[in-house]
């Protein structure tokens, strides 16, 4: 078990564009294990490698009720179809204490590799899981949920985060 440090806004590494993973070697497997440990410890339902300062296209998710119930690894994920609209309240381990409603697609299809290098497809529709997948893939593109807010709400959110850091 090894925990990695989660980066907080405004760490510039959160803006990195993640690179594809070429080979799923032992280093990547260790990284995946560490990301699950870190995510469960922080009580998040997803974690992108970008959030621990590793600019690779890797996401772990667990939407189980219990810890370690439904671990899902996404390597090099690509959204292949998206449509519709939905709004859910989001939080982010890199934006501690901030919760805002975010509008995203309500239907997505994505393809990715699992930790054994096997390609798979996920269809998600009209739920929190669909919202979370898009949130995580945004991280790989250097994007945070505050980037989806209106300019006014975004500037309020940034002020709130800055205050939180002082306290």
As annotated, the active-site residues are: 136
Compute how many other C-beta atoms are within 10 angstroms of the C-beta atom of residue 15: 15
Tell whether residue 45 is a contact of ligand GNR (CB under 6 A).
Answer: yes
Q: Which residues contact 70 (CB under 8 A, 6 or more apart)?
A: 62, 63, 64
Contact 57, 77 (CB under 8 A): yes
Query: Which 61-90 residues touch ligand GNR, going by CB under 6 A?
Result: 90
Stretch that binds Ni ion, among 59-67, 88-96, 109-117, 125-133 (CB under 5 A): 88-96
Q: Are 50 and 31 in contact (CB under 8 A)?
A: no
Q: Which is nearer to ligand GNR, 32 or 93 (CB)?
A: 93
Contact status: 92 vs Ni ion (CB under 5 A): yes
Instruction: Note whether 135 binds ligand GNR by CB under 6 A.
Output: yes
List 9, 14, 44, 98, residue binding ligand GNR (CB under 6 A): 44
Question: Considering only residues 52, 58, 136, 161, which one is a binding residue for ligand GNR as defined by CB under 6 A?
Answer: 136
Give whichever of 139 and 148 is closer to ligand GNR, judged by the CB atom.
139
75 touches Ni ion by CB under 5 A:
no
Instruction: Give the integer Cα–Cα distance in Å for 167 and 132.
Output: 29
């Amino acid at each position: 078990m090894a925990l990695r440090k989660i980066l907080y806004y405004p760490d510039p590494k959160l803006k990195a564009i993640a690179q594809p993973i070429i080979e799923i070697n032992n280093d990547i497997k260790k990284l995946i294990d560490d990301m699950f440990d870190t995510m469960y410890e922080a009580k998040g339902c997803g974690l992108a490698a970008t959030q621990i300062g590793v600019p690779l296209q890797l996401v772990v998710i667990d939407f189980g009720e219990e810890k370690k119930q439904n671990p899902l690894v996404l390597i090099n994920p690509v959204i292949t179809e998206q449509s519709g609209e939905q709004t859910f309240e989001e939080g982010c381990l890199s934006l501690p204490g901030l919760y805002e409603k975010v509008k995203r697609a309500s239907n997505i299809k994505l393809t990715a590799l699992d930790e054994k290098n096997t390609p798979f497809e996920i269809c998600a529709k009209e739920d929190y899981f669909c919202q979370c997948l898009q949130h995580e893939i945004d991280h790989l593109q250097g994007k945070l949920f505050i980037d989806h807010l209106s300019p006014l709400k975004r500037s309020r959110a940034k002020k709130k985060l800055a205050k939180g850091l002082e306290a």
